[in-house]
Chain A
Amino acid sequence: MLKRMLLFFVLLSGLLQASQLLHTRYESVIKGQPLLFNLELRDVFLPSVDSVELFYKGDVDGGYTKVNMTSTAPGTYLLNMTPVLNDASEFQYYFSVRMSNGSILTLPEIFPEENAFIADVKKSESDPSIRLLNPINKGIINDSQPVFLISFEDPYDILDLNTVSLKIDGNDVSKDAHVVDHFVSYLPSSPLSEDNHSLEFHISDKNGQDHMIQSSFIYQSKSPSLVEWKGNESLLIDLYASDVSPNTRTGSRVRNMVEMNMKSGFINADIYDFRTSEETDSLQHQNRTRLVLYDDHNRVRLFLKDQAPVYSYYGLNGVNIDGIGAQINWPNLMQFNMVEGESARAILGDSNPSINKNGTFSQKVFSWQIASKTGGWDNAISYVSFKDDKDSLSLTSNWGTSLPQENRVLGWQSKLNLSPDQSTYLKSELAGSVFYPDISTGDILTVPTETKKVVPEFILNAIPIRAGMTAGAAGMIEYQTPIILKELLIKTYGNFALPGFKSFGNTSIKTDDLAGGAQLNLNVWRGAMSFSGAYQKNRDNIMNIFDPNSSSGYITYGDDYQTNVNMDVFGLAYFGYNYSFNSRLNNATDDVALIDNQTRTDLFSLNNIQLQLDKFKGKLNTNFSVINYADSIISQNNFNQRGIGFAIDTEFIPIKANFSFSNSIKDAKGPTPNTTVYSAYGVRLDYEYIPKILSTYSSIQLQLGLNNGDNIDARLDTNKTTLGLGALYRYPSKIGFFVDTKFYVDVTITTVSDRLADASDKSKNYTEQTLLFKLTTTF
Chain B
Amino acid sequence: MKKFFVLFLILCFISLSYSIEKRSALATLTFYLGQVFFKSNDIGDFQPVQKGMTFYEGDVLKTQDDGKAEIFFYTGSKTRIANGTEIIFKSDEKTKSKSIFINVGQIWNQIRKGDKFDVESIHGVASVKGTEFDVANDDDGMELWVVEGLVNIKNDNGEILAEKNTQTRLRKGFSPNKIGVNRSDLPVWQNDFSAEALLTLSSPGQKQEGKPFKVNITLKDSKTDKLFTDEMLLSVKSLSRGLDIALAKDNEYTQSLEVNIVDGKAELWVKGQSGDYEINFTGRKITGQNLPVKIDPIPNQRTVELRFTGKDLKEHQIDLKYSLK
Closest to A332 in B: B164
**Residues of chain A contacted by B28 (CB below 8 angstroms):** 133, 147, 149, 151, 183, 185
What 0/1 pattern do residues 149 to 165 of A give for CB contact below 8 A with B?
10111000000000000
What 0/1 pattern do residues 127 to 166 of B give for CB contact below 8 A with A?
0000000000000000000000000000000000000000
Q: Quick check: B31 and A147 within 8 Å, CB to CB?
A: yes
Task: Please report the C-alpha to C-alpha distance between residue A190 and residue B43 in the assembled complex, in whole angstroms.
Answer: 29
What 0/1 pattern do residues 109 to 135 of B give for CB contact below 8 A with A?
000111000000000000000000000
* Cross-chain contact of B222 among A87, A131, A142 (Cβ < 8 A): A142
Binds A, one of B70-78, B169-177, B259-267: B70-78
Task: Please report the C-alpha to C-alpha distance between residue A345 and residue B30 in the assembled complex, in whole angstroms.
Answer: 56
Q: Quick check: B31 and A221 within 8 Å, CB to CB?
A: no
Task: Please report the C-alpha to C-alpha distance between residue A502 and residue B284 in the assembled complex, in whole angstroms.
Answer: 66
How many of chain B's residues touch chain A, expressed as a range? 20 to 34
With A89-B112, A221-B223 in contact, do A145 and B72 touch (Cβ < 8 Å)?
Answer: no
Q: Quick check: A142 and B194 within 8 Å, CB to CB?
A: yes
**Residues of chain B contacted by A182 (CB below 8 angstroms):** 24-25, 74
With A178-B52, A221-B223 in contact, do A89 and B114 touch (Cβ < 8 Å)?
Answer: yes
What 0/1 pattern do residues 81 to 93 of A give for CB contact below 8 A with B?
0000001011000
Q: Quick check: A87 and B31 within 8 Å, CB to CB?
A: no
**Residues of chain B contacted by A131 (CB below 8 angstroms):** 74, 76
Tell me, rounded to whole Å, the shortest Cβ–Cβ distance linking B42 to chain A. Answer: 14
Q: Quick check: B222 and A222 within 8 Å, CB to CB?
A: yes
Instruction: Give the residue among A145, A147, A180, A223 with the most B Cβ atoms within 10 A.
Output: A147
Q: Quick check: B25 and A222 within 8 Å, CB to CB?
A: no
Q: Quick check: B194 and A183 within 8 Å, CB to CB?
A: no
**Residues of chain A contacted by B52 (CB below 8 angstroms):** 147, 149, 178, 185-187
Task: Please report the C-alpha to C-alpha distance between residue A274 and residue B112 in the assembled complex, in whole angstroms.
Answer: 40
Tell me, rounded to whole Å, the shortest Cβ–Cβ distance linking B5 to chain A. Answer: 31
* Cross-chain contact of B74 among A147, A151, A178, A187 (Cβ < 8 A): A151
Within 8 A of A (CB), among B1-55: 24-25, 28-31, 51-52, 54
Q: Quick check: A149 and B24 within 8 Å, CB to CB?
A: no
* Cross-chain contact of A151 among B76, B221, B225 (Cβ < 8 A): B76
**Residues of chain A contacted by B31 (CB below 8 angstroms):** 143, 146-147
**Residues of chain B contacted by A146 (CB below 8 angstroms):** 30-31
Tell me, rounded to whole Å, the shortest Cβ–Cβ distance linking A101 to chain B. Answer: 41
Label chain A's interface by main secondary structure: loop
Q: Quick check: B223 and A134 within 8 Å, CB to CB?
A: no
Q: Quick check: B194 and A222 within 8 Å, CB to CB?
A: yes
Instruction: Give the residue among B73, B76, B194 with the most A Cβ atoms within 10 A.
Output: B76
Within 8 A of B (CB), among A276-290: none
Task: Please report the C-alpha to C-alpha distance between residue A221 and residue B225 in the assembled complex, in whole angstroms.
Answer: 9
Task: Please report the C-alpha to C-alpha distance between residue A223 and residue B221 in the assembled complex, in whole angstroms.
Answer: 11
**B195 in the interface (beta carbon within 8 A):** yes
Q: Quick check: B223 and A133 within 8 Å, CB to CB?
A: no
**Residues of chain A contacted by B221 (CB below 8 angstroms):** 224
Within 8 A of B (CB), among A129-146: 131, 133-134, 142-146
**Residues of chain A contacted by B30 (CB below 8 angstroms):** 133-134, 146-147, 149
Task: Please report the C-alpha to C-alpha distance between residue A221 and residue B195 in the assembled complex, in whole angstroms.
Answer: 10
* Cross-chain contact of B223 among A90, A143, A145, A222 (Cβ < 8 A): A222
Task: Please report the C-alpha to C-alpha distance between residue A713 and residue B262 in the assembled complex, in whole angstroms.
Answer: 88
**Residues of chain B contacted by A133 (CB below 8 angstroms):** 28, 30, 72, 76, 78
**Residues of chain A contacted by B182 (CB below 8 angstroms):** none
Tell me, rounded to whole Å, the shortest Cβ–Cβ distance linking B108 to chain A. Answer: 16
Q: Quick check: A145 and B51 within 8 Å, CB to CB?
A: yes
Tell me, rounded to whole Å, the shortest Cβ–Cβ distance linking B99 to chain A. Answer: 16
Q: Quick check: A191 and B112 within 8 Å, CB to CB?
A: no
What 0/1 pattern do residues 281 to 296 of B give for CB contact below 8 A with A?
0000001000000000
Instruction: Give the residue among B24, B72, B78 with the most A Cβ atoms within 10 A.
Output: B72
What 0/1 pattern do residues 208 to 232 of A give for CB contact below 8 A with B?
0000000000000111100000000
**B198 in the interface (beta carbon within 8 A):** yes
**B317 in the interface (beta carbon within 8 A):** no
What 0/1 pattern do residues 103 to 147 of A give for CB contact below 8 A with B?
000000000000000000000000000010110000000111111
**B300 in the interface (beta carbon within 8 A):** no
Q: Quick check: A87 and B76 within 8 Å, CB to CB?
A: yes
**A614 in the interface (beta carbon within 8 A):** no
**Residues of chain B contacted by A181 (CB below 8 angstroms):** 24-25, 54, 74
Task: Please report the C-alpha to C-alpha distance between residue A484 and residue B48 in the assembled complex, in whole angstroms.
Answer: 56
Tell me, rounded to whole Å, the shortest Cβ–Cβ distance linking B192 to chain A. Answer: 12
Closest to B78 in A: A133
Closest to B221 in A: A224
A residues near B, CB below 8 A?
87, 89-90, 131, 133-134, 142-147, 149, 151-153, 178, 180-183, 185-187, 191, 221-224
6 contacts between A and B (CB under 8 A): A89-B114, A134-B72, A146-B31, A182-B25, A183-B28, A191-B198
For the complex of A and B, list the 6 residue pairs with the smallest distance between their C-beta atoms, beginning with the closest: A182-B74, A181-B25, A151-B74, A224-B223, A147-B30, A133-B72
